[in-house]
Structure 1
């Protein structure tokens, strides 16, 4: 016999958790179904553990710079095994924390993997094989995405990003395949932890979709740090006994790259396997579930949020989509998520962060004559005594007709923290004159945004 709820949420990641707790706060009886740990990609195998690894990897350069500030250290060594273990322990703590948040909110956590039996019924199979049948007038799909493994011989010998967090140790050398933010972030992490990194890039530049000048600044810094970037190279096969081990990546041009491990950072796709969407009549477009501005699928009563819709695959976006769904459906406070101005960051080394239009996008929209590009490039004060790079880049894109700042990018330390504040101003329609009127906070990197010549 089916158990009845007001809302069933499939997936206890960022979007699903936000929707479930918000709906429960309005008095809805909510069940959230999860076959893995609670927290989703961001908490368990993405943003959080990755950022902790970034912090850990940065100590290599901090320790190298210490003598210039009068700190004389003895011999130091990197112990990635300890870092990886500590990160996993923190993830476990956060998993338990999120379970507690669900209990406090009055949301029932149903352990197991869910699949549709009909448009209002979900069947959940637990790890022990037991099955529960849940029924609700409204069902929210928030199962997120999974790393995509390329279809090449030996692809199973490589790691995807999820698996990297589970390693007990790191090899001496690795090949990273990909040019996106996951590839660039892990290349920096591995390099900082003492791994020799070669990164294979299919195209002619990194970080497609970001400001080209900013991505070039990241590229220059990565190469200066010792990361070997090979453009116009795609893997054709991976050979070897097992991973980790003695592996060889052969590119489509026939060049071979021997290494101790391979990271396949070749994109992510919505995790639709096993959902039996056809059993509910939910339409799929390519690899994703299309939705309208209210998060509705083609089936009345079935909604989707987050990476499974493959629009803007960022944690804060999924969270806002989940809350907007709950506000509209259960809180009688209808609202839509604005996807037009979303700040984003790459935790490469150095960081890249931006909000609004890139120079390329702005040029296409307003024309070269309709824009003024303001930029500053300099060595930050934190590197004055070590006297090393990389230089930071700050960039404002201004529409001439209105004077509005339509794009803002930065490459350098604390870029994400700084752009977060710039996003508020740009979201309010700030002009270059508004930036110019703002008194600078000196000495800081961010002051350059308000002191650039008009």
Structure 2
């Protein structure tokens, strides 16, 4: 007879880990199934290793500016192989840390890949064999995977996951895409001494973000050394790793040692055999209600697999809200009305609330007031180089309520995280104006805008 669990979680990423530990804390008997390392995209091949690479690559600009502050530097060179190895070591440490936290929480970690045999029965397959388990409730938290475009030679290229597996970096990389992953990787690689060309199908970067902010990021990336080609998408890739040729839709031909495809992600539902459970899909996505429930009452889903807002903190809160509601007797839902986001390019972008375009589209252009400040931060006053900061408030004219706060520049994510609290409380422009400035700082511009 198959072993019975109160909750079986499929996927040990951010949402699955959060749900499993919270449900166990409420007294549920929980099994978590994972065929890969523990931590998911964010910890293993996303946010954490990426941010470490961002920190490492940023030293190029820091060192370039050092002489302005009186530091005389000798022969300095970058060794990407050392950085990549150290990042992988930190990821391994975090993997072990998360496994330990599951043990401490009383969650049973099952190594293997899950497949539905019926709505309540799962088959877990691993190198050790197969195990059948029964679940009163199932939470699907399998996350997403990069998508390769359907063009000849796509298999010759990297996807974003592959960046973290490299022992060293090539001399040149062509990046396909204009979203946040493409732009972040472009800045990382240039900072580490790689020549980067970026092919962007649209006429601008970072679609979905405030256009003025994306233009500011584009200017900063150009100053950093990224060569961006707009209105072009790859049609074929030829050659072999180390010597690749890419033809694009604008009749351009590009040579690079490596090609990285940052052309989107999709839910990783392959192999789950959802048909056996009767779970409805829309493409690869799992539609859910506000309580994270699929069309099958005892099967839920959180995170990138539902393709709603694919951010780690959202997945974590969805997982905890599910566990609190189902096992903790504390019904609640994840509030998606005000979600801050950041792009860790150089310069950094962060945003919360409505963009200028969204506000004007929703309320009408005449109903929206925009305040902005552009300046070179004090950190760059002596070198007299580097990108300028842009800070922006989008305000509803009739109520003076701040609808959006946006920033490009140093420490943007840290600053916008705090601004999100004010927007969530319904702050007005007058509330910002009444706040005493902390001088000299970049963030003070948010409370001194005319």
- For 1:219, the equivalent position in structure 2 comes to 218
Q: CA deviation at 1:31?
A: 0.2
RMSD: 0.6
- For 2:272, the equivalent position in structure 1 comes to 275
Separation of aligned partners in 2, 1:121 and 1:333 = 27
1:104-157 C-alpha deviation (Å, 9 max, x unpaired): 0000000000010111111100124x0011111100000000001111000010
> Is residue 149–residue 263 contact of structure 2 (8 Å, CA) maintained in 1?
yes
Post-superposition, which runs of at least 4 consecutive aligned residues in structure 1 deviate over 2 A?
none
Separation of aligned partners in 2, 1:93 and 1:337 = 30
Q: CA deviation at 1:232?
A: 0.3
Give aligned pairs, total: 450
The answer to whether residue 408 in structure 2 is matched with residue 408 in structure 1 is no
Q: CA deviation at 1:439?
A: 0.4
- For 1:327, the equivalent position in structure 2 comes to 324
Separation of aligned partners in 2, 1:91 and 1:181 = 22
Separation of aligned partners in 2, 1:132 and 1:383 = 60
> Is residue 112–residue 126 contact of structure 2 (8 Å, CA) maintained in 1?
yes
- For 1:363, the equivalent position in structure 2 comes to 360
The answer to whether residue 150 in structure 2 is matched with residue 151 in structure 1 is yes
Separation of aligned partners in 2, 1:292 and 1:396 = 33
- For 1:288, the equivalent position in structure 2 comes to 285
Secondary structure of the structure 1 residue equivalent to 2:324: helix
Separation of aligned partners in 1, 2:136 and 2:34 = 19
Gaps of 5+ in 2: none
Q: CA deviation at 1:340?
A: 1.1
Separation of aligned partners in 2, 1:412 and 1:55 = 15
Separation of aligned partners in 1, 2:196 and 2:409 = 21
1:368-416 C-alpha deviation (Å, 9 max, x unpaired): 1101100000000000001112000000000011110000100001000
Q: CA deviation at 1:276?
A: 0.2
Secondary structure of the structure 2 residue equivalent to 1:118: coil
Secondary structure of the structure 1 residue equivalent to 2:166: coil
Q: CA deviation at 1:287?
A: 2.3
Q: CA deviation at 1:312?
A: 0.1
The answer to whether residue 430 in structure 2 is matched with residue 439 in structure 1 is no
Secondary structure of the structure 1 residue equivalent to 2:161: helix
Separation of aligned partners in 2, 1:272 and 1:143 = 7
Secondary structure of the structure 1 residue equivalent to 2:236: strand
- For 2:371, the equivalent position in structure 1 comes to 374
Q: CA deviation at 1:255?
A: 1.3
Q: CA deviation at 1:225?
A: 1.2
Compute the TM-score of the two structures, normalised by the length of structure 2: 0.99
- For 2:415, the equivalent position in structure 1 comes to 418
- For 2:27, the equivalent position in structure 1 comes to 27
- For 2:98, the equivalent position in structure 1 comes to 98
Q: CA deviation at 1:286?
A: 2.1
State which of 236, 247, 252 in structure 2 corresponds to 1:255. Answer: 252
Separation of aligned partners in 2, 1:339 and 1:138 = 24
The answer to whether residue 312 in structure 2 is matched with residue 315 in structure 1 is yes
> Is residue 66–residue 72 contact of structure 2 (8 Å, CA) maintained in 1?
yes
